[in-house]
Amino acid sequence: MAGSREIRNKIGSVKNTQKITRAMEMVAASKMRKAQDRMKKARPYGEKIRNVAAHMSRANTEYRHPFLIERDSVKRIGIIIVTSDKGLCGGLNTNVLRRALSEMKKWQSEGEELEVCCIGNKGLGFMTRIKANVISQVVALGDTPDMEKLIGAVKVVLDGYTQDRFDRVYIFYNRFINTMKQEPVMEQLLPLSDDKMQSGQSVQENSSNTGWDYIYEPEAKPVIDDIMVRYVEALIYQALTENMASEQSARMVAMKAASDNAGSVIDELTLIYNKSRQAAITKELSEIVGGAAAV
Amino acid sequence: MSTIFHLDIVSAVESIYSGPVEFLVAPAQMGEVGIYPRHTPMLTRIKSGMVRIKAQLKDEELVYVSGGMLEVQPDVVTILADTAIRSHDLDEAKAIEAKQAAEDAMKDRASELDYAKAQAELMEAVSQLAAIEKLRKRRH
C-alpha cells in the first residue's frame, strides 16, 4: 500500500497546475485575437508614412536627413530588442535573444561597441545579466502597446544616431507569421535602407522626374525631421505589435501543450494509483483467505 | 480635370478616414489650410483640431485630429495623426525618464522578485510536466 497516498497527492498537484495552464491558455487565446487586430490596424499608418517618406526622398530637397545617409565606417551599433514582459510563452523570447546574442558576439569580435535599448522586461533582464550596456528601456507595456511609452526610449536611440554615437541601429523582434509560427528577425533600422524608402504604390511617377519639391510649412528641416522620427517610430511600433501578437499566440500554444501534458500525466498516475490500490486489495484478500485456511 | 482627390487619415492605432473627397480644411501649424484637387505638393505639421471634409454628394464631415503631419500630393492627401501628445520638451523629458529607468534597473530589481519567484515556480512545474512526458514517450 506504500506510496498510494503520495500518488494521490501528486495527482492533486498536477491537476492544480493543469487548471492554471488551461486558464492561461484561454486568456491568451482571447488576448491573441485582440493583439492580431491591433497589429492589422497599425499597418495602414506604416504604409502611408512609408509612402510619404518615399515621396520625400524623391523630392528635390537641399536638406538630407541623417537617417538616410549611409556611413562609411561602422564603429558603434545601437540595438533595439523587443521582447515580452512576461514569460511562459514557449521559446519566443529565448529565440529572439539567442539570435541577438549571436549577432552581438559577432559584432564584438569585429571590435564594435554595442549599446542596447530594451523594450519588454524579458530582454531587459537578459541584457542586465550578460552585462550589456543598456541605455534605455521600456517595460510593463501591458496588452495595448502605447506610442506614448515608446517615444522616450526610442528618442534616446535616435538621438544617439543623430549625434554620431551610433553608426547603425538594428532591431530584433518576433515576426508574426501565423498562430503556430513566429520567427525571430533582425532588421536594420538606421540608416533607412533603400527598400524601406520605396513606396508600396507608385504615385506620380511623371512628376517625380521633373525636380519638384514640396512647400514646407514652416521650414523644410523641422518638418522633415518630424516625418523621419515618426517613420522610425512607426517601424518600431509595428515591430512591437507583431511581437505582442506573437507573444499571445506562442503562450496559447505553450499552455495548450502544458495542459495536454498534464492530462496525460494525470492519466498515467491514475493508472498507477489504481494498480497499487488493486494490489493492496488483492494482498489483503489473500491474507484473509490464507488466515481462514490456516484456521 | 478631376474634381476629387483621395484622402487618408491614419493614426498608428487605426485608419480614421479613407475615401474620395472634394475638398478639405485642416488646421496646419501656420494657420488653416483649405485643399482642393490639384494642389501643389505640400508638407506641414498640423495642430490638434477639426479637419473638415466634404465628400461628393455628402454633407460636410468633421474629424478630430490630435496633431500630426499633412502631406499633399495633387491627387492624394495623407494626414498622419499622432496618438500621443507631442512637443520637443515633452519628448526630451520622456527620453531622460527612459534612460533613468534603465540605470535604476541595473541597480536593483527587488520589487519584481515576488512576481518572478511565483513565475519561476510555475515555469518549473510546466517544464517538469514536459520532462515527464518525454520520459514516458521514451519508455514506451
Q: What is the 3-state secondary structure (H, E, C) of A193-221?
A: CHHHHCCCCCCCHHHHCCCCCCEEECCHH
- Find, in chain A, the residue whose alpha carbon is nearest to that of B125: A17
Higher per-residue pLDDT: A83 or A70 = A83
CA–CA distance, A76 with B17 (Å, rounded to integer): 42
Considering only CA atoms, which of A130, A94, A66 is closest in space to residue A247? A94
Which residues are bridge partners to B69 per DSSP?
B45, B80
CA–CA distance, B134 with B125 (Å, rounded to integer): 14
**pTM score, two decimals?**
0.83
CA R_g for chain A? 28
| C-alpha distance from A279 to closest chain B C-alpha (Å) | 23
Do the beta carbons of residue A36 and residue A143 sit within 8 Å?
A: no
Higher per-residue pLDDT: B49 or A195 = B49
CA–CA distance, A36 with A7 (Å, rounded to integer): 42
Considering only CA atoms, which of B51, B41, B38 is closest in space to residue B11? B51
Structure confidence at residue A23 (pLDDT): 95
Which residues are bridge partners to A215 per DSSP?
B42
| C-alpha distance from B9 to closest chain A C-alpha (Å) | 9
DSSP alpha helix (H) spans, chain B:
88-107, 113-139
Q: What percent of chain B has pLDDT over 90?
A: 26
- Find, in chain B, the residue whose alpha carbon is nearest to that of A217: B44
- The mean per-residue pLDDT over the stretch A241-254 comes to 94
**All three cell numbers of B13:** 492605432
Instruction: Residue A111: count other Cβ atoms within 10 Å of its Cβ.
Output: 7
Query: A–B: how many Cβ contacts below 8 A?
Result: 168
- Judging contacts by C-beta atoms under 8 Å, the chain B residues touching residue A223 are 43-45, 69
Cross-chain Cβ contact A213/B41 below 8 Å: yes
Distance (Å) of CA A116 to CA A29, A74, B44, B97: 32, 16, 33, 16
Which residues are bridge partners to A68 per DSSP?
none
- Find, in chain A, the residue whose alpha carbon is nearest to that of B14: A41
Q: What percent of chain A has pLDDT over 90?
A: 52
- Judging contacts by C-beta atoms under 8 Å, the chain A residues touching residue B95 are 136, 151-153, 155-156, 159
Do the beta carbons of residue A125 and residue A145 sit within 8 Å?
A: no
Distance of CA A147 to the CA centre of its chain: 16
Read off the pLDDT band of B1 (50, 70, 90).
Answer: low
**All three cell numbers of B17:** 478616414
Cross-chain Cβ contact B99/A135 below 8 Å: yes
CA–CA distance, A234 with A42 (Å, rounded to integer): 9
Cross-chain Cβ contact B41/A59 below 8 Å: yes
Q: How much is the ipTM here?
A: 0.76
Q: Report the residue from A148, A217, A264 with minimal CB separation from B29.
A: A217
- The mean per-residue pLDDT over the stretch B24-51 comes to 90
| C-alpha distance from B58 to closest chain A C-alpha (Å) | 25
Cross-chain Cβ contact A223/B44 below 8 Å: yes
Structure confidence at residue A281 (pLDDT): 94
Q: Which of A52, A149, A264 to mutate to test the interface with B (most CBs of B within 10 A)?
A: A52
- The mean per-residue pLDDT over the stretch A129-146 comes to 86
Residue located via cell numbers 501534458: A261
CA R_g for chain B? 26
Is the pLDDT reported for residue A1 higher than 50?
Answer: no
Q: Which of B10, B43, B103 to mutate to test the interface with A (most CBs of A within 10 A)?
A: B43
- The mean per-residue pLDDT over the stretch A28-57 comes to 89
Least confident window among A91-95, A111-115, B86-90: B86-90
DSSP alpha helix (H) spans, B29-87:
none
Higher per-residue pLDDT: A213 or A1 = A213
Higher per-residue pLDDT: B87 or A118 = A118
Per-position b or e across B108-129, b if 16+ CB within 10 A of its CB: eeeeeeeeeeeeeebeebbeeb
- Find, in chain A, the residue whose alpha carbon is nearest to that of B13: A42
Higher per-residue pLDDT: B112 or A43 = A43
CA–CA distance, B129 with A264 (Å, rounded to integer): 9
- Find, in chain B, the residue whose alpha carbon is nearest to that of A149: B94
Is the pLDDT reported for residue A124 higher than 70?
Answer: yes
DSSP alpha helix (H) spans, chain A:
4-58, 92-109, 121-129, 147-162, 205-208, 220-294
Spatial neighbors of A254 by CB under 8 A, at least 6 apart, are A88, A89, A90, B126
Tell me the per-residue pLDDT of B50-81, one tens digit each, with 9 for 90 and over: 899 998 888 888 888 888 899 999 889 999 99
Structure confidence at residue B58 (pLDDT): 85
CA–CA distance, B49 with A183 (Å, rounded to integer): 41
Tell me the per-residue pLDDT of A160-214, one tens digit each, with 9 for 90 and over: 998 888 899 999 999 999 988 999 999 998 888 777 776 655 444 444 455 678 8
Structure confidence at residue A2 (pLDDT): 54
Cross-chain Cβ contact A136/B101 below 8 Å: yes
- Judging contacts by C-beta atoms under 8 Å, the chain A residues touching residue B12 are 42, 45, 147, 234, 237
Structure confidence at residue A254 (pLDDT): 93
Cross-chain Cβ contact B29/A218 below 8 Å: yes
Cross-chain Cβ contact B133/A264 below 8 Å: yes
Structure confidence at residue B24 (pLDDT): 92
Structure confidence at residue A255 (pLDDT): 94
- The mean per-residue pLDDT over the stretch A69-98 comes to 90
Which residues are bridge partners to A187 per DSSP?
A171
Residues B67, A57, B53: CA angle, nearest 5 degrees: 35
Tell me whether strands B23-28 and B42-54 are parallel, antiparallel or unpaired: antiparallel
Q: Considering chain A, what is the average pLDDT of its residues?
A: 88
